[in-house]
Structure 1
Amino acid sequence: MRNWGESDIPDQTGKRVLVTGGASGIGYEAARALAEQGAHVIIADRNMEAGAAAVQRIRTKRPDAVVEFRPLDLGSLKAVRDFAAALLVEGQVLDTLINNAGIQPISERRTSADGFELTFAIGHLGHFALTGLLLRLLERSVAGRIVTVSSMVHGGGKFDWDDLQMTKAYSSQRAYNQTKLANLLFARELAARLERLGSKLRSIAVHPGVAQTSIGANRKQLGAFHLGDYMVSAVLSLVMPFLGQPASAGALPTMFAASAEGAVNGGFFGPDGFGEMKGAPAPARIKPAAQDMAAAARLWAVTEKLTGLSYLD
């Protein structure tokens, strides 16, 4: 695993991969790399213009790449169900699902089409539902994988079980931390359930370290900025170029989890450098908040109620 890089991705010919949030940043880089290695890649993103552009960028690099774009708004459970239903009707095997999409929220609390706090809705609820709805296609793969992108900040997350939607004490960073903790707990609980059922599917979590992506710039699409939002954007634009690695490097843990044999069920991978900020993929530290498997089971049960979808029980 030491110094594992993009050139180590094995041939992906014949594999079908779905990447959420694949129009830009880490999602795009993972989609590009896997397509360049022969995978049939489906880029799912709410930004139709960026999605179409991503497909063209990949085809510029590899003209014969099998890559397509399909619009998906993870903030709408109906949209998730409709998206999954279309894939189920087609009936083709899905080898890898990369749950990558997410937002860096603004200081004003925003809600999804279903009335949930937007960060949590897109990053966790939408991915939970999408994963469950596509399990039938993933289980038909010889070596199916579900890769969920968390973050270094998962350790700062905590759940107020009486107010998961943060109607009483909202802050953008708290919403982001909670969602990234949910991502990791979901991936770990999913791995445990798959193992108990004897499934050959793997659930693997990753984090990109500190990567230069457009997630900060995309905050402007979420609503009117307040002073704090301008400050956050300024910090991101000034700090990221110095501390962050390129999105292509930040995507390496995702590429590893999606393709390498060493990416085991229940694993968590991130950069191997100082503070896990940069470097080659390696086992990452699971902070205490994400070691609480009782909380993972409770989150799963609550999420089933919120999404109206139960699976792997």
Structure 2
Amino acid sequence: MASSPIQPYASLHVSPDGPGDARPTASKIIEDEDLTGKWADKTILITGGAAGLGLETARALHSTGACIFLTARNMAKAEAGIKDILSTSPSSRPIEIVEMELGSLSSVAAGAKAFLSKTDTLNILINNAGIMAIPSHSTTADGFELQLGTNHLSHFLLTKLLLPTLVSSSTPAFASRVVNLSSMGHHYSANGFSNPEIWQDLNSEVSTYDPWIAYGRSKTANALHASHIESLYGADPDHPVHAWSLHPGGITTGLFKHDENADAIAKANWAIWKSVEQGAATSVWCAAAKALEGRRGMYCEDVGESVPDAEGYQMPTPGFATWAADGEAAEKLWEVSEGLVGEWAD
């Protein structure tokens, strides 16, 4: 019989009252886990760490004393963010920047190589960066549909290149963790990769391009990616790697820059909307919660493990779609993704 989902902050999400309400922040998670200054032996890499959720995730985790690496394409912006973190953090440990453009697999491969030249340890990888609802069909430097290429394939390649280090850094006492930021937006891609037709049109070149369907496809891919990492590495008795995907919540960040309805969406959903600090809480919980140690990774939201959708799901009701946990689709997506990034994976 499956165990009940761990949802330690469920009561605080029953009656939300907008950003800054009683729902926990990322820093509150570190406080509740009693981790301030306790992780001097840990190394953490966060993609997209220059602003938004990535920066707040880094801020909270830096307080543990861990060695933090951030990827960024705008180095000046990342340096400003790091300066802000260090101005208030209880840890004085330097934060490293890895230059990386997620729209280029060559840049991802170079960034992974640069990271590995600086450390032989990686305990937690947080695949945080992403883009959303690109208005017109666009492609990455390598010719992949922009949202699938940036949100999924770049992180798939990065994770693949770093998995040997995640494995070697893992112990039965503290298993390495991979945290993928998905979204409730995975529901926009009806049936996701469980739909056989999707494999003939991964780049959205045959069907009419829809920015939200493409976004939903990429976020479904993030969830399936984490699911298959768990299948492949989670049961290793000596060097396990567990993986979670998550919905951070509704937050107004730079992710909405392409959505002309962003202000109206935020206003209509203000009661359930979160501050950036609250939005980073689920990422930090997946990375740090002691209650998850040794537990099989899954989809999370509202700072807890999620449950499958009820029939007739309507956003923004909590829950993940069954196609985001389809084992066969996850395995096939892994195989296809390996083929697509193979040129850069050697």
1:105 and 1:172 in contact (8 A); partners too:
yes
Deviation (angstroms), 1:196: 5.3
Structure 1, residues 98-127: CA drift from partner, whole Å, max 9, x if none? 001100132111110001011111110000
Partner of 2:129: 101
Which secondary structure does the structure 1 equivalent of 2:87 belong to? helix
Q: 1:136 aligns with which of 150, 157, 164?
A: 164
Deviation (angstroms), 1:57: 0.9
Partner of 2:340: 306
Which whole-Å CA distance do the structure 1 matches of 2:331 and 2:343 have between them? 15
Partner of 2:8: 2
Partner of 1:226: none
Which whole-Å CA distance do the structure 2 matches of 1:71 and 1:310 have between them? 17
Q: Which moved more, 1:241-250 or 1:96-105?
A: 241-250
Partner of 1:50: 77
Q: Following superposition of structure 1 onto structure 2, how do residues 151-170 of structure 1 map, counting pairs within 5 Å?
A: 151-157=183-189, 158-159=192-193, 160-168=198-206, 169-170=208-209
**Percent of aligned pairs with the same residue?**
33
- Over aligned residues, Cα RMSD in angstroms? 2.1
Q: 1:13 to 1:261 in 2, by over 3 A?
A: same
Structure 1, residues 27-52: CA drift from partner, whole Å, max 9, x if none? 11111000012111111122223211
Q: 1:239 to 1:40 in 2, by over 3 A?
A: farther
Q: Does 1:291 align with 2:325?
A: yes
Which secondary structure does the structure 1 equivalent of 2:243 belong to? strand
Q: 1:90 to 1:48 in 2, by over 3 A?
A: closer
Partner of 2:228: 189
Partner of 2:283: 254
Aligned length: 291
1:36 and 1:65 in contact (8 A); partners too:
no
Q: Does 1:213 align with 2:253?
A: yes
Which whole-Å CA distance do the structure 2 matches of 1:89 and 1:43 have between them? 15
Stretches of structure 1 lacking an aligned partner (at least 5 in a row): 220-228, 272-280
Q: Which moved more, 1:28-37 or 1:63-72?
A: 63-72
Deviation (angstroms), 1:307: 0.7
State TM-score, norm by structure 2. 0.78
Ranked by relative contact order (alpha carbons within 8 Å, sequence separation 6 or more), the top structure is: 2
Deviation (angstroms), 1:88: 2.4
Deviation (angstroms), 1:177: 0.5
Q: 2:147 aligns with which of 100, 108, 119?
A: 119
2:134 and 2:147 in contact (8 A); partners too:
no
Q: 1:260 to 1:234 in 2, by over 3 A?
A: closer
Deviation (angstroms), 1:194: 0.7
Which secondary structure does the structure 1 equivalent of 2:70 belong to? strand
Stretches of structure 2 lacking an aligned partner (at least 5 in a row): 1-6, 10-23, 308-319
